[in-house]
Structure 1
Amino acid sequence: MLTLLHAPTSVCSQKVRVGLAMIGLDYESRLMNLAAGEQFEAAYLALNPDAVVPTLVDDGLVVVESSLILEHLDERHNAGRLMPKEPAERLQAKHWLLRCLQIHAAINTLSFATAYRLPILASKTPAEIDASVARFPDPVMGAKRRDLILNGTGSPYVGQALMYLRRMLDDLQAQLAGDWLGGQGAGIVDVALIAYVDRLDRLGLQGLWDAHPAIGPWLARWQAMPAYAAGIEAFTPPGSAAPMRAAGLDEHWPALRERWAAL
């Protein structure tokens, strides 16, 4: 039996749910309330000491880190069909999976520097913000979260995020010779990256790929896929997408445009 402990709008949870849908696997869903701090409870920390989602339990085997979960699901339950067979392409795919650690950090940075910031400031006192970030097992991650909440797009972490995303989008554009990175159909790299690019779109930051003409159509192809509907759209709170995108286009993208152009 597969059990997934995940959160509705967590990009890494989205990524794994898309993979489960692509492979056609049923799973027991255990949704977690990250805003309430359920990821810091002792029972969850026993499974995932980093206090992040998702966590997969596969017949008693605990698997953490979304890229590793994707690779595990593909190998164990899909005969490796999402992974390229040719050695050079296989190594390239595995490199993308490793790069997802940096890519996720960049997406997390922009999410909390833009759309997630004001609701937190409106609902928590400074003392409550300090208390929430103090619960992070990694104090550096806690300090980063606090800085993003307080300083928004003025945080120094945003510059680092833009640097990682510039490289991701440049490489994605260069490798999209056809419809999919996986060749004839979506492969493991397509699955690994879709939630991140989709989040940028939902944040109203589509301008990041104005000079990358292959990325918009790739995203649109994904958004028409049943796996996208099952893994991402089905867990999006009703009515939340349009206001987030509009706020990003009106407020956050103008604050980032010049910095992005200078990279």
Structure 2
Amino acid sequence: MMRKLSIFLTMALSAVVLLSGCGSSGSKGGSDTFKVGMEAGYAPFNWTQMDDSNGAVKMEGNAEFAGGYDVEIAKRIAEGLGKELVIVKTEWTGLPPAVTSGKIDAIVAGMSPTPDRMETIDFSDNYYQSDLVMVVKTGGKFENAKTLDDFNGAKVTAQLNTFHYSVIEQIEGVNKQTAMDDFPAMRVALESGVIDAYVSERPEGLSASAANSNFKMVELEEGFVTAKDETAIAVGIKKDSELTDKINEILAGISEEERTEIMNMAIKNQPAAK
């Protein structure tokens, strides 16, 4: 009787081990995936659409797809790592906590490696360098502005928790408005006349004017004073992650010509501005 019981227990244990092994090998989680966080609302870096056209990638947990420059860069990183790309739509303010907690592996979201952010997360080498511009209404009072002084008295805003918002104070006499959550909200506010202008980076300014004829990007002859790292774009990664060196190696293999081509295609393929 004891021998039969022993055989039964051995068989049962073997079945548990076998099932456990099958479960782990069939999973698409863990080391098989590269989870990237982005807000999917900052065209042409990243945006939301409802199909997979122009190379968009389905986002985790919903029926939407993410497209844009960041998505194309994330694809190349995932391919270089030999992993499946998973896009996790995340609010802008939630991105650093998400990568710190391990909910995502990296932030590829048009994020600048500012000193404040580097206190909590690490960054890769830059994968884009830009300049600050103002986005105004076509035909409006500020469409021919040349310098910051021309925005004296203007109602100006920028995205919440970005250095874009802090530089507004460089405009003498500006009517600084409350920071907004995202760029779609700022575009709506600009078109409706709630604000006169918002601060952005050149790709987003090009994107706004290309997608909606009511918007105009203003490149200033005498513009904002910024540090180089404030207008650079890099991948955000958890502190001391082994991914940093690997991502830098992959980014080094993307030429400036290819990066420019990717950005030009992103501007061309973006959805119409809301």
Give me the TM-score of the superposition, normalised by structure 2.
0.30
Higher strand share goes to which structure?
Answer: 2
Greater radius of gyration (CA): 2
Structure ranking higher in helix proportion: 1
